[in-house]
């Protein structure tokens, strides 16, 4: 019976307003993810880039860039992963210059006022990633004065390549002045990474920055006040918690839900029309045979059309094509198409001034990927936008296909297909029995 009532990951509504710790009606984070998302597609595996396409870290960033338009959350989060590790590995004499940021009443009040859960909802239980431990599933916070948090017990370091990113020195090399407007600057206090923190603030925190995080006024002021005094990771506690909660409890389940769909809108519409046509053909066969002098048992053949059409229409209602799934493929997304000429691609890179962006350290040449410092997350100038808009409906319908490599995603799709087949069988059996029970019409000779 679990097959009949299996539900794919539910869509988690996006919070209207600034970033806050995600809350969801009806359950905890474990409730919304563990039951519907297999361990292979866990948040930790996606962030550590252990999943294969179409559920890799790059695919997650593409989803946040082109679908939900909040890629800066993941970009800043990945930088924090790298920064916390580098700060931990800094010489002790340098770290002593940046003491931990301590709690204060105004900071706590600010968080309470801006992160009240929605009425009638249950706050999600946030199991934060310990950005310092080799086991990324451990919980950790930066609240208070943890003077020994960088002790010898964290002897195992994080490898940045696990996150699909280039090594640390490559990330630091991306701190180009072109994308650092002089809006916020703290004079050097011999604190480690002060210059990088200044650039990060101007790139993600201050209003009007290229990749401005959606922070409330009070939260933004709290973070800026903390970063004015220290470069210790504890100054980023507030942002870390909100991003971890949002990415884990909202963006990740929605990303997995979206990845299940293996066809575009045009293909889904055509699939539903084809499924309805099969159901209509099944009724036509059943009615013709019922009115004839043929044996009533011939009407059973109509059940195959009903079952096939119902299976496809149930699967299509969730964006899943049975045929594409049997072939272990999915259609290209619009931003993955490469039908335009190479000249268009080169012109786009030239317009963005490639001298300021190190594309060799990323998985693709688009400007909105893994670079810490880069242009705003806007894709309107990318050549695929104009090219895809000019594509005919017919060409979009038969978009090229690529293999689905992630077994965890295939497991979800298999379960959804079996569910569609089971429900189709439950609908088809009584319908077939009803038509077989009807007496022959004898309206025309056999």
Which of the listed residues 202, 235, 260 is the one where a domain comes to its end?
260
Answer whether residue 392 is part of any domain: no
Note whether 164 and 244 are same-domain residues: yes
For the chain, the domain total comes to 2
Q: Are residues 271 and 308 in the same domain?
A: yes
Query: Does 165 lie in the same domain as 86?
Result: yes
pLDDT at 384: 87
Q: What is the DSSP letter of 67?
A: T
Query: How large is the average pLDDT for residues 238-264?
Result: 94
Print burial letters for 160-180: b (CB count within 10 Å at least 16), e (below 16): beebbbbeeebbbebbbeebb
Q: HSE, CB side, 13 Å, CA atoms: give it for residue 274.
A: 14
Quick: pLDDT tens for 42-87: 999 999 999 999 999 999 999 999 999 999 999 999 999 999 999 9
pLDDT digits 0-9 by tens, 399-431: 999 999 999 999 999 999 999 999 999 999 999
The answer on pLDDT for 349 being more than 60 is: no
For residues 222 and 76, membership in a common domain is answered with yes
CA atoms within 13 A on the CB side of 9: 30
Q: Could you tell me the two tokens for 420?
A: 């569609």
Lowest mean pLDDT among 100-104, 113-117, 441-445: 113-117
Instruction: Check whether residue 235 and residue 309 sit in a common domain.
Output: no
Same domain, 204 and 279: no
Dist. CA 38–CA 16, nearest whole Å: 29
Choosing from 210, 238, 260, the residue where a domain stops is 260
Q: What is the pLDDT of residue 131?
A: 43
What is the rounded CA–CA span in Å between residue 418 and residue 4? 8
Q: Do residues 19 and 11 make contact, with C-beta atoms less than 8 angstroms apart?
A: no
Cα-Cα-Cα-Cα dihedral of 204, 208, 210, 215, to 10°?
A: 30
H/E stretch holding 401 reads strand 401-403
Token pair recorded at residue 250: 């909202």
- The reply to whether 60 falls in a domain is yes
In a domain, 99, yes or no: yes
DSSP string, 333-395: PGGG---S-HHHHHHHHHHT-GGG--GGGSSSS-SSSS-SS-S-S--TTSHHHHHHHTS-HHH
126 and 188 part of one domain: yes
Instruction: For residues 248 and 300, state if they share a domain.
Output: no
**Cα distance between residue 129 and residue 180, in whole Å:** 29
Q: What is the pLDDT of residue 440?
A: 87
pLDDT tens, position by position, 177-220:
444 445 677 777 789 999 999 999 999 999 999 999 999 999 99
Whether residue 130 is predicted with pLDDT greater than 50 in this model: the reply is no
CA quadruple 435, 440, 444, 446: dihedral sign: positive
pTM of the model: 0.77
Question: Which is more confidently placed, 122 or 3?
Answer: 3
Look at residue 382 and tell me if it is in a domain. Answer: no
Do residues 192 and 293 both lie within one domain? Answer: no
pLDDT of residue 446: 52
Same structural domain, 249 and 199:
yes
The range of the structural domain enclosing residue 220 comes to 23-260
- Last residue in a domain, options 260, 283, 310: 260
Query: Do 206 and 297 fall within a single domain?
Result: no
407-437 vs 301-316: helix axis angle to the nearest 10?
A: 140
Task: Confirm whether 350 is domain-assigned.
Answer: no
């Amino acid at each position: 019976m679990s097959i009949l009532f299996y539900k794919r990951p539910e869509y988690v509504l996006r919070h209207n307003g600034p970033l806050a710790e995600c809350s969801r009606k009806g359950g905890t984070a474990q409730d919304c993810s563990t039951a519907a998302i297999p361990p292979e597609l866990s948040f930790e595996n996606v962030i550590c880039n252990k999943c294969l396409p179409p559920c890799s870290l790059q695919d997650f960033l593409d989803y946040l860039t082109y679908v939900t338009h909040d890629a800066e959350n993941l970009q800043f989060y990945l930088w924090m992963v790298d920064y916390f590790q580098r700060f931990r590995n800094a010489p002790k004499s340098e770290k002593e210059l940046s003491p931990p940021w301590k709690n204060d009443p105004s900071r706590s009040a600010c968080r309470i006022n801006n992160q009240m859960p929605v009425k009638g909802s249950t706050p999600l239980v946030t199991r934060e990633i310990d950005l310092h431990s080799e086991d990324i599933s451990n919980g950790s916070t930066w609240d208070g004065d943890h003077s020994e948090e960088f002790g010898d017990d964290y002897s195992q370091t994080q490898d940045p390549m696990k996150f699909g990113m280039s090594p640390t020195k490559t990330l630091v090399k991306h701190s180009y002045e072109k994308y650092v407007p002089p809006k916020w600057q703290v004079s050097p206090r011999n604190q480690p990474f002060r210059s990088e923190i200044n650039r990060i603030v101007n790139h993600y925190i201050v209003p009007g920055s290229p990749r401005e995080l959606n922070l409330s006024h009070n939260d933004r002021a709290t973070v800026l006040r903390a970063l004015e005094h220290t470069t210790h990771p504890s100054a980023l506690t507030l942002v870390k918690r909100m991003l971890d909660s949002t990415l884990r409890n909202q963006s990740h389940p929605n990303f997995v839900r979206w990845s299940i769909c293996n066809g575009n809108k045009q293909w889904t519409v055509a699939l539903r029309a084809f499924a309805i046509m099969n159901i209509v053909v099944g009724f036509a066969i059943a009615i013709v045979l019922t009115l004839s002098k043929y044996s009533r048992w011939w009407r059973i053949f109509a059940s195959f059309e009903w079952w096939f059409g119902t299976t496809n229409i149930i699967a299509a209602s969730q964006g899943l094509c049975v045929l594409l799934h049997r072939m272990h493929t999915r259609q290209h997304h619009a931003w993955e198409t490469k039908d335009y000429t190479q000249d268009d691609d080169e012109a786009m890179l030239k317009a963005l001034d490639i001298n300021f962006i190190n594309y060799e350290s990323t998985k693709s040449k688009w400007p909105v990927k893994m670079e810490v410092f880069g242009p705003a997350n806007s894709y309107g100038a990318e050549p695929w936008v104009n090219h895809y808009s000019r594509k005919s409906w017919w060409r979009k319908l038969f978009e090229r296909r690529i293999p689905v490599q992630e077994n965890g995603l295939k497991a979800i799709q298999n379960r959804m297909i079996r569910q569609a087949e089971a429900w189709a069988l439950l609908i088809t059996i009584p319908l077939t029995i009803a038509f077989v029970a009807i007496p022959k019409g004898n309206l025309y000779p056999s």
